[in-house]
Structure 1
Amino acid sequence: MNNIEEKLKLSYAKMSPQRFEDVCKALMPLVSAEYENINSNKDALGKTKKGTPDAYVRDSNGYYVAFQFTTQQDRVKEKVITDIGKLNSKNCHFSDKIRKVVICLTANMSSEIELCHKEAEKYGWSSDIYTLDDMVRISEGYSQFCHEHLRVFIPSHIDNAVVPERFYLCGSRIRELREERNLLPSQFIDLIDYYSELSWSDVETEKKECELSIAKYVSDITGANLSWVIHGIGSKYTSDFLPYYSIYDSVEMIKSLSPMKLYFCINTETCDFMIVAMASEYKWKIFYLNYRLDFWNWLDDHNKIPEIYEHFTTIYNKFNKLPCSVIGRLYKDDEFKMLTSDNVFLGELINKLPKRGEYWADDIRDLEHRYSHLDYEHSYGQWFVDIQSYVRRNKT
């Protein structure tokens, strides 16, 4: 068995039932054009609904191809025969219109496979049964499918020349990303869906090179700069600037990260302001604003204050609702500067720094002071009420 086949088998063998179903749904249209319109048995949230089959195709003549997927590794014959029998039960509402049954497995079968075909014949149905070896052989012919769904790279052939994936000695930097997140090697390979902890140890100690596709995936799930991951060039993490003059673009830039939390962070000494976005426990990003909120130090451009205030409040309102939340943070100058380093893991730093001013971003929008002026000055400082004063004064 070659190395690619081994990787493909391992990828299939460790799949959860739901993931195997998703992969089969993507593979079957490659097997035959008749499966192009395959429908799954999942709801809008991706949860498998009760009932049978696992998936189906309805022909133009009203007849059906029924699919059953199983990751069971023992008593496979009994499982397949049971799954075929379920298609002839009251749980399948088109059993009288089935013309074909397709079974996909993550295990191999002996000559008992014939008993499964005969079980389908008993109900007048033709049948295709794809064992683990069949799944591997089919998959191996589709390099893009293997890369996207199985995370296995299969070299493509152009002009009869093999174009291999590039490999890099970048494991020490990836180990740095893992350790910043306090993940064990076993937890990390689960996160990136890598097939072997022993093999991954060789990658991290640079006894073995790392595939570019894996480096890209690590970059994506950690937010690390890909150039830093593979070459050690540039900053470890990247950041973006939100244009105050385009609220739409700013919202879309943040939305592209699918954030779970936004931290509205302000330097209480300089009134520099930035947004720290948490996309996941392991991926964070800074969005800088190209303005300060110290309006009293502005020489001109006070006419832009309403625009800036609208930019601030629109982002707050857009994201301070499920599945996201907005949290305020007040930082001293030295604390704020720690966050602006592009070489620190923001998730760890945010948790270590003081948790002051959780509600300042909400309270500052209370321009008419539902609470007394002194309450805000006492809670936050003079800078807070001065910002409110300048916004009120320049409202259009």
Structure 2
Amino acid sequence: MTSTVVVTGVGAVTPIGGTADATWQAAFAGTPGARTLDNDWAEKYGIPVTFAAQADRSAVDETLTRVETKRLDPSSQLALASAREAWADAGLDEVDNDRLAVSWATGIGGVWTLLDAWDTLKEDGSRRVMPLTVPMLMPNAPAAAIGMHFKAHAAVQTLVSACASSTESIGNALEAIRGGRADVVIAGGSEAAVHPITLSAFSSMRALSRRNDSPETASRPYDVDRDGFVMGEGAGALILETKEHAEARGATIYAEIAGWGISNDAHHITANEPDGTFARQAMERAMEMAGVSASDVKHINAHATSTPVGDVPESLAINAAMGDHVDDVLVSATKSQMGHLLGGAGAAEAILTALALKNRTAPPTINIENLDPAIHLNIVRDEPAALPSGDIAALSNSFGFGGHNAVVVFKSV
């Protein structure tokens, strides 16, 4: 018998909120998170983009000790803070640590630690490089920090699939529970890569918006004048456990995580397959595993990065997967508010998807002034929209460089 897996705790550190609740309230209100950077990077390095969506670190600074902060890369700091919030939110106390696992993700890893160490080596020599440099920069460092803190002995794993990473981590967690390897999994992802090198590299690719005069309106998925994504940073953590385990301890349940699907475009290292064929395939595989049909799906949190070439293939995929029911699906593009959290995006957006089902409300997409005529979706614009009552399902889509496509399906409870 396949276990029913549910979400009982959420935690988030995002550009629009230092906690999951603050992030939800800001998303509900349509609050933009992009700001002009308070540094001299643009002038010093000639970077054509002067803004980003930096994480609200208020809860991180309150949650982590000075020693923890010193020994963790920013990506791990965000991870540990969000995981602690999710754990407290789930009301977990005593658990069987041999049945507790971590499934975490990142797209880039400890870029700040790596490049700071390189600067130290060049300027001060080898002896000044910190002995903890490698444990801090390695991509599995966030997962390891969470695993050690909560004594997760069942497994501690790291998924790295670019911007699909943390959606894959949630799917991996679902399979760990259904496969009998764990009763409780801390799943999610984090990224802290707002750095001169990443801003420069993405700018060179012409992937970033250059609306320096109006950062808050720069991320505009589906708008005809979209000119690139907004670099963001943040983390999202979800506590997943069997429904039986959750009910036995009287836990609050946000939603059921019912299925997930993956595929790969095998098309281009950065560009989406233009027809959305394999994005659709991932959506259909997720729905098949979840045992839902297109008529059950009433909400999608779209990947929708605000890039000229990325938004259309996803819209084609959604239309193909939903068929005649596409007009009944309320589509939200929350990167319009949070920016693109890269490896942390899928987890933060999955949290918003679960909360949308719990609150029966889809958050708005902001900054659409002139809808692209190539987009044919029922987009939630400017104001939240009510979701119907009854048993419904929602999807959270994530797609990444390398052709990675990952989708998770949540059901209402």
Q: Hey, which of these two has a bigger chunk of helix by percent?
A: 1
Q: With a CA cutoff of 8 Å and minimum separation of 6, indicate the structure with the bigger relative contact order.
A: 2
TM-score for both structures, normalised by structure 2: 0.22
Larger Rg: 1
Give the TM-score taking structure 1 as reference length.
0.23
